[in-house]
Structure formats: C-alpha cells, structure tokens
Amino acid sequence: MRAGTLDITLRPIKLAFIVNVSDKVAVLEAIRINSFLWGGFYNPIIPFFERKPKFLAKDILFKLQDNADILRGYLNAYDPDYVVQLGKCKDLELDLGGREKIKAEDILSGISDDGTVGYGIGIYEVLNHFYEKELKFVRKKPVDVVIPKLAARSQLFLASVFGDLPEKFNKEFLKGYEEPFNIKRPVSNLTNYHTFLDRKTLFLRRLTGLYIDPRRRGSRFDDHLLCLLDPGNVVDVIDYWNLRALGLTVIPVPIQVADTPEIKSFCEKFIDESFGQHRYNPQIYYTATVQKGRSVSEEKAQAFLKFLDIKPDSKSGQSKISARFWYPRIWDSWARDKDGAEGADLEADNAQKDLPGDQDSIDFKTLTPEFLSKFGGHGQPRFANEIELRTYAGKNAIAEVMPQGDSKLANRIGGYGHKEWRLSRKGLVYLSQHSDWTVHLPLPEAEVVFLDWIKSLGWETKISSAGYIAKQLIKHLGGVWGIETIANEELLGLLGRLTGQNRLLSSLFTKITALEKNLKTKQHDDASKDVEKFLIELEEARKSSELKEGPILHDQLITEISKAISKDPFKSDPVKYLERLTDINMFRLGTRIQCPVCQRHSWYSLDELKYELQCPKCLERFKPPTHSPTNEMQWAYRTFGPFSLPDLASGGYSVLITLRFFSKLLDGAVTPSMSFTLKKGIREFEVDLGMLFSWSKFSSSTVIPIFSECKSFWDKFNEKGIKNMEYLGQQTPGAILVFSTFRHNLDKSEVKSLKELVKRNRNNRKARKPFNQVLILTGTELFSQFGPPDCWENGTVEQKKFAKEYNRYEGIDELSDITQQMYLGFKPWHEEEREHYENKRAKKLAVKESKEK
C-alpha cells in the first residue's frame, strides 16, 4: 500500500527577456511588457553581450567567460517557462537550454479584444480583483496608488523603478482605473523619485506583484540592498532589475544624487528598517548592504559610504550596514549560492492531496488564481502549478525530485501533453490554460526518472544484477521508508554470519599470504604474534561457516535480536521485532530434525512438514519424531529470498542504508536508482547508488545529483572505484560524491586516496567551492537514529566538537566539509580559502616591494 502526498504550488508564468546591452529600446520594451503581467517584475532581463563593455573587463573572470556560457547561466538561474528575444536579439539562434521561444507580440495579443494577455495573466485581471476585494467599499486608510509621469532624460531608469505601460495601452489603462483607484500622476525625476517609494505606496511594478509570496532559499543576511548605480548606464539598470527579480529588496540610488541630504535621510530610514536581530540567534544581526553598480567606481562607492556615515547600533554596538563592491555572479552556477544569487520560489497558493494507495496514477484539479478571467485566454498557458511528490511507503520508489529538462524528457517521465508539462529546476510544472482543470498524472517511478535523466547526459546505462536484488529488498521492506526495519548494525552483522561471510574468508586468505612473507623476513617472536591473531580470526571464520550450514534456533535468534536492539530507543521487544522481520519474509520458520539413517540434522519449512520426510543429505525417507516434539524437533529459522543471498545481499544492504541516510536522516526528497552500470565511449563501470536529492526541509529546493560508492563491513575503497567516481563527477559538475561504509573508521590507504581526491576537487578556486563535494559516511552516521549532529554527540572528543560546530541549515556542502575534517583531517574549507588568498596577496605584495627596491 502506497502512502504519500502530492503538493501543488500556484505561481505566475515565468518569462525571460534577452536583450542586447546596447539596445535601450529593447530594454524599455521588456520593462513595459513586464509591467502588464502578473508577476512581471520577477521576470529577468538577460543581457546579451556581443562584446563586453570596458568597465566590465575589470572583472577578469567575467571578461574571460564565454558570452554563450553567461547567457546559459542566467537562464539556468531564473529558469523561465518561456524565453523572449527582443530588438537586436530577436532573430538570433541562441542556446535556450531546451526552453520554448515565444514572440513579444504574442504576449500582449488579445488585450484589445477581451483585456487578457496571450501568455500569463494581465494587470487588468489583477486590478479588477483588487478593486472588488479592497476598494469597492470605503476604507479607513485609503490605498495610495501612484503612476508617475517619467522624466524623459531618465525614462529607462524610472521605468525600471515604477513600471511603465506600452504607449498604446497607457491611455486605456488610465481611462479605466484612474478614477476608481484615485490614481495620482506626479512627475518623477532623479531628484524626487525616492519620495514615491514608501512601502505603502502602490505603483505599476508593485501591482504586478500582488498575491505573490517570494520565498528566498535559506537564511540570508544581505537581502536588503542599497544599489548605487548610474541611471544612464544600461547594464546598471538591467543589473538592478535582475537583483530585484531574485526576490531581494533593492532600493536604487543614482550616483548623480547620492550626495544630497534628501537621499541621505532616505537611505538612513531604509538602513534602520533593515537592521534587526535574528529571531533564534541573538548573536546574529540583519543589516542593509550597499551594492555597487558595475559601472560605478569603487572610489565613488567608498565616498558614498563615508557620506552616509552610519553609526553602529547604540544598544548592541553592531554595525548597521555592510558593503559589496562586486556584483553577485547570477550567471555562474558554481558561485550563485555562495553569492546569495539564488532565485526566489514564487508562491501564490498551495494545496496538498494524498496519493492513492493502490493506483499508479493520480488525478488532481489545478490550483487557479482567484482573479483569473473565466472567459479570457488565447489558447496558451495562463498560470503554472509546480508539482512535488513525497512518499512514505510503497513497493516501488516514486520520484520525489525531478531533474531539469525539456518537454521531451517531461513526457518520457510521465507528464503527458503537447506543451503542458516542463521540468524546471524544482521539478514537474504544469502550465495550465484553464481554471479548475482536471490533470491526470502517472506516478513516475524513481528508477525510470533517474536513468532517463542520466541518459540525457550522454550515458548508456542499465540496471546491474545487484540493482535488481536491491529492488527486491525495497519491495519486501515496503518502500524506502521501510529500510528503517533493517537499519541496525548488529542485525546486519547477524545476516552476514547466517548467509556466510565469505568476504572474511577471502580476507583471511590474503592474510595467510602476507603472514607467509612475514615469517620469512621477521624473527620468530614477532611473527608468533601475527600467528596468534590469525588463529583467532580463523576460529571466527570456522564458527561463521558452521552457522551458515545450519538454521538458527528460535531461542538463539531471540538472544541475537535482543542484543541488536539493546541500544535502540524505539525497539524494546525482541518478539515484536522478530514478528516484523518475519512479516517482510527475512526469516522463515521451520523445524530442525535429525535423520535416523545418516544422523545428520536438516531443516524443514512449515510447508515441508509432513508425516513422512525425506532427508536432503542421504535421500532416505523417515517419519518425524512426533512422539517427542519437544526434545527431538527444534523450532528454527532460515533467511529467505533476497535476504538469504551471500555478501550481505550482494552489497544491497549498504546501498539501502545509504539511501536511508538521505531520505530519512536528512529528511530529503529523493529520486534514487540502485546499482547500475554506466558506459560512455570505452569507459564502463558500476555505480552502487545514484539519486537526485533535494534538502527540501530546509527550504533549499535546488536539485543535487548524488553518486555513492557503498561498502559494508569488509570491503574497502580502492583506487579504481575512486577514479571511476571522480570521472563521473567530472562529467556531472556540482554532483556530490559519497563514500559510504559500515565500518566506523577508514584505514590509511583509504584516507590517502580520498585525501588526494578531495585536494583535486578543492582546487576549484574560481567558484570558491569544490568542483565536486566529497561526503564521507561511516557506520556512525549510517546506523544512527537521528543523523548529524546527534550521531556525533556520544562519540569521540573530536566528534563531540564537530557536533557543536555543525550547522545543518547550511546544507550538504557544510556536511561534506565536516566529514572531510573528521575522517580525512582537512581544515575547514573557508579557512583553507582564506589562507590561500592571504598567501596570494602576500606574494603579490612581496613582488611589488622587491620591484620598488
């Protein structure tokens, strides 16, 4: 029986406008179109560079970056549903990342007919609803609506601040709304623009944002910006617009009036309103940030800060203001999150629906804006519903996270339709033309989604035999959340002994060879100690082999289970736990009977018990000792199905326990595929576990690819496996490489190889983060009940220290960094970065001083 939810989030249609930075007319057109659309001011204006302006060449990394890469980076950051190319860019063939290109004229088509736009929802529908809800009756506090007349000399800048309608609709708009909304029409210029920016004042740009809640990912302390810019510079105006489109609060400060008393007073008020103490951590304060425009010199920015002369807070002594003299790298996927340039998640409404327990599909009604005109629309999408699936039980894993991709990939995954579905950075998106429309969605299997995604990256792939075994384990356990049943170190050790630890015997064979060499090279006294250790291990192997040959008696199994759950706070009754294990067919009950002919004991399942039995060893038939069932018939259990396979179900347990870590202990959304082979060119290898992961609990909806090398109690990470993982990471920038083992420590050879891997990845200085993060997981994390940092609190002194330092809200990068410190002996990444750049500056200074001498 499947259990889970389907979450629906309503948002506007998202557009991106591509303009040439030398084309002011096209930039103004983009602003005017967005001023007519619901959610328009969250639509980016993406700069296209034929040649970068000289003032941008000061940023050497930006100067060297390919213009096509910059364009792709902007598109990936804002992830629009459609792309519009304007002006000089209109007819260019550009790589839009599989997104659909539409024409500007098609967006505003139909307004003259019925007042609705061709794509999305127009301002008329929003204002009509606002009037009915807010203005139809006399209010105690009248709404202040201002549509300024824009000074011609600063029209582009002022339009970006307040919004501006296309000329042919301006008169019509004022005719219909000026009187009922009591619209004021003052003249706005650089001198007085700030007087209309009171939070309670509504103007066109703010009206397009009504009924939308922009949710920034994570907790940021630089979300309130004073943007010092040149209003005559197109790049500065576009940058200002795009910062605001990220969901930031951005107040523009033209450099021409930045030193006036009026602007100083205005900025001081904004800074005071932005300053505040963190709700849960009194040591942390929020401040306003002065953001330098890219055309503005650092000297002018410093002069502006000096002119403001903001004093520290009188009570706390904390600074109220900070400065940022570089522009956030929105276009750079590596640096985006570090620069606080991740886009906001737009939400107008949300709903939740339970998944059907016995069906492989679900029907749901679209979540529709209240103000949508029932008779409007022109055959194109009007609003978007973002779809998120979360499952808690079910035999087959359902895709909870969706990869970014085009409509073809969306259709293969299960979103059937002509143009209704797309795969955004957040997952499946339904682009709806109609209100309250019933949508049929086949529930996408996680394995299908993941493998289709990885095939789209150019890999050939198929499930390995170990993958099929892992799928059977998941099926018996009742889904991903059922893995919790076997997440016990002692239980898995018992299963290893019951199914034969032939890996241990292989290890002993290796030790025999090494011992033979030692006996030849060492003195007898030293070698005798090795012999003694070897004999102890050999005895353990003998006992394990004996255990494999026979079933485990009921009392003995109860004893082992009692030992296994002795430290588990949620399991105290071994009989109840055994009931659960028999329910999933891990163990099957039978009886152990001695053959009267050959005198050997054999196990017979309940199905085999008859009044005449056949000995499986000598093949003779005999009657069971029904006259003495208590003394001569012993209740005993054998492992069954995939649980009876050797090598801990062909490594399946290590894969499942690693999957549990991400799904349950991190409470993440996962789309996994277990044990599959990859081939590209002549390179072919197996991956133990791959998944798409989103740490959604902590408001980070970014989808992260994860690849894991999973080991149990005996196997070790080897150079070949590490090289394969590194190659896979190079082919998938930004993916997390996980090395997971049931052992609680790594040996020297593993530490050495993994340290070299981490060092190579840490050399990615450009992004100020590793090329691929490396996460180390041991039995300490894997078998814990609550995950980090709780799993370290009762560990070593060093682990207790890390438990106090670890901030789980920083996401998987922070977790990776902590485990690299804990198990590989690295310094924290930020310390290593600081030392790197301090050394770099010191070398430059030394060179400069030597030249001066």
**What is the residue-wise DSSP string for 121-176?**
-BHHHHHHHHIIIIISS--SS--EEB-PEEPGGGHHHHHHHH----HHHHHHHHHH
**Residues 370-392, mean pLDDT to the nearest whole number:** 86
- The yes-or-no verdict on residue 535 having pLDDT over 80 is no
Claim to verify: residue 603 and residue 695 sit in the same structural domain: no
Structure confidence at residue 698 (pLDDT): 42
Chain-centre distance for alpha carbon 179: 48
What span, in angstroms and rounded, lies between the C-alpha atoms of 14 and 717? 45
- The yes-or-no verdict on residue 764 having pLDDT over 70 is no
pLDDT digits (tens, 9 = 90+) for 416-443: 565 788 888 888 899 999 888 999 888 8
* Band (469; pLDDT cuts 50, 70, 90): very high
- Which amino acid appears at position 620 of this protein? E
What span, in angstroms and rounded, lies between the C-alpha atoms of 542 and 563? 22
Claim to verify: residue 92 and residue 122 sit in the same structural domain: yes
What span, in angstroms and rounded, lies between the C-alpha atoms of 127 and 136? 12
More confident of the two residues 452 and 741: 741
Residue where a domain terminates, one of 596, 612, 645: 645
What span, in angstroms and rounded, lies between the C-alpha atoms of 643 and 680? 33
**How much is the pTM?**
0.80
Structure confidence at residue 832 (pLDDT): 81
* Band (547; pLDDT cuts 50, 70, 90): very low
* Band (372; pLDDT cuts 50, 70, 90): very high
- The yes-or-no verdict on residue 781 having pLDDT over 50 is yes
* Band (765; pLDDT cuts 50, 70, 90): low
More confident of the two residues 581 and 839: 581
Claim to verify: residue 672 and residue 797 sit in the same structural domain: yes
Please tell me the least confidently modeled range out of 88-97, 510-519, 703-712, 753-762: 510-519
What percent of the chain is predicted at pLDDT more than 70?
A: 89
**Residues 697-725, mean pLDDT to the nearest whole number:** 85
Element (H, E) at 586: none
Structure tokens at 611: 């009044």
Structure confidence at residue 498 (pLDDT): 85
Chain-centre distance for alpha carbon 354: 23
- The yes-or-no verdict on residue 92 having pLDDT over 50 is yes
* Band (501; pLDDT cuts 50, 70, 90): low
Q: Are strands 633-639 and 552-553 parallel, antiparallel or unpaired?
A: antiparallel
Q: Which of 565, 585, 586, 590 lies closest to 575, judged by CA?
A: 565
Structure confidence at residue 841 (pLDDT): 78
Claim to verify: residue 186 and residue 298 sit in the same structural domain: yes
pLDDT digits (tens, 9 = 90+) for 506-524: 566 556 656 655 665 655 5
**Residues 196-205, mean pLDDT to the nearest whole number:** 93
Claim to verify: residue 797 and residue 679 sit in the same structural domain: yes
Claim to verify: residue 609 and residue 719 sit in the same structural domain: no
What span, in angstroms and rounded, lies between the C-alpha atoms of 497 and 549? 10
> Exposed e or buried b for every residue in 19-51, given b needs 16+ CB within 10 A?
bbbbbbebbbbbbbbbbbbbbbbbbbbbbbbee
Structure confidence at residue 767 (pLDDT): 52
Is the distance from CB of 480 to CB of 659 less than 8 angstroms? yes
**Residues 479-498, mean pLDDT to the nearest whole number:** 90
Contacts with 172 (C-beta within 8 Å, 6 or more apart), sequence order: none
Claim to verify: residue 155 and residue 178 sit in the same structural domain: yes
Structure confidence at residue 747 (pLDDT): 92
What span, in angstroms and rounded, lies between the C-alpha atoms of 244 and 45? 11
pLDDT digits (tens, 9 = 90+) for 252-290: 999 999 999 999 999 999 999 999 887 767 777 889 999
List, as own/partner pairs, every contact residues 347-350 make where C-beta atoms lie below 8 angstroms and the sequence separation is at least 24, other chains included. Answer: 347/9, 347/10, 347/11, 347/212, 347/213, 347/214, 347/215, 348/10, 348/11, 348/12, 348/211, 348/212, 348/213, 349/9, 349/10, 350/7, 350/8, 350/9, 350/10
Report the DSSP beta bridge partners of residue 72: none
- DSSP codes, 793-833: TTS-HHHHHHHHH--GGG-HHHHHHHHHHHHH-PPPHHHHH
**Residues 663-688, mean pLDDT to the nearest whole number:** 93
The 10 Å Cβ neighbour count of residue 804 is 9
- The yes-or-no verdict on residue 700 having pLDDT over 70 is no
Tell me if 533 is assigned to some domain. yes
What DSSP designation does 58 have? G
Q: Which of 833, 829, 794 lies closest to 815, judged by CA?
A: 829
Q: Which of 506, 513, 579 lies closest to 544, judged by CA?
A: 506
Chain-centre distance for alpha carbon 114: 42
Cis bond upstream, residue 789 (ω within 30):
yes
Claim to verify: residue 651 and residue 766 sit in the same structural domain: yes
CATH code for position 748: 3.40.1350
Tell me if 726 is assigned to some domain. yes
- The yes-or-no verdict on residue 692 having pLDDT over 50 is yes
Report the DSSP beta bridge partners of residue 590: 605, 636
- The yes-or-no verdict on residue 669 having pLDDT over 60 is yes
Q: Which domain holds residue 538?
A: 481-645
Tell me if 795 is assigned to some domain. yes
Structure tokens at 497: 């002994």
Please state the φ and ψ torsions of residue 510, each to the nearest 5 degrees: -60, -40
Phi-psi region of 92 (alpha: psi -120 to 50; beta: other; left: phi over 0): beta
Is the distance from CB of 18 to CB of 96 less than 8 angstroms? no
More confident of the two residues 589 and 421: 589
**DSSP 3-state of 460:** strand
Phi-psi region of 171 (alpha: psi -120 to 50; beta: other; left: phi over 0): alpha
Claim to verify: residue 593 and residue 631 sit in the same structural domain: yes
Tell me if 2 is assigned to some domain. no
Structure confidence at residue 584 (pLDDT): 92
Structure confidence at residue 528 (pLDDT): 59
Structure confidence at residue 225 (pLDDT): 96
Structure confidence at residue 583 (pLDDT): 93
Is the distance from CB of 731 to CB of 742 less than 8 angstroms? no
Tell me if 204 is assigned to some domain. yes
**Residues 435-460, mean pLDDT to the nearest whole number:** 89
What DSSP designation does 310 have? P
- The yes-or-no verdict on residue 529 having pLDDT over 70 is no
What span, in angstroms and rounded, lies between the C-alpha atoms of 764 and 773? 11
Tell me if 4 is assigned to some domain. no
Structure confidence at residue 546 (pLDDT): 44
Element (H, E) at 313: none
Claim to verify: residue 575 and residue 678 sit in the same structural domain: no
More confident of the two residues 396 and 438: 438
The 10 Å Cβ neighbour count of residue 806 is 18
**Residues 780-797, mean pLDDT to the nearest whole number:** 92
pLDDT digits (tens, 9 = 90+) for 809-823: 778 888 999 999 999
Claim to verify: residue 772 and residue 708 sit in the same structural domain: yes
Is the distance from CB of 742 to CB of 711 less than 8 angstroms? yes
What span, in angstroms and rounded, lies between the C-alpha atoms of 279 and 286? 10
- The yes-or-no verdict on residue 108 having pLDDT over 60 is yes
Tell me if 470 is assigned to some domain. no
- The yes-or-no verdict on residue 377 having pLDDT over 90 is no
Residue where a domain terminates, one of 272, 292, 324: 324
- The yes-or-no verdict on residue 162 having pLDDT over 90 is yes
Structure confidence at residue 770 (pLDDT): 64
Tell me if 803 is assigned to some domain. yes
Claim to verify: residue 709 and residue 828 sit in the same structural domain: yes
Q: Is 490 buried (19+), middle (13-18) or exposed (0-12) by CB count in 10 A? A: middle
What span, in angstroms and rounded, lies between the C-alpha atoms of 613 and 606? 12
**Per the structure, how many domains does the chain have?**
3
Structure confidence at residue 844 (pLDDT): 77
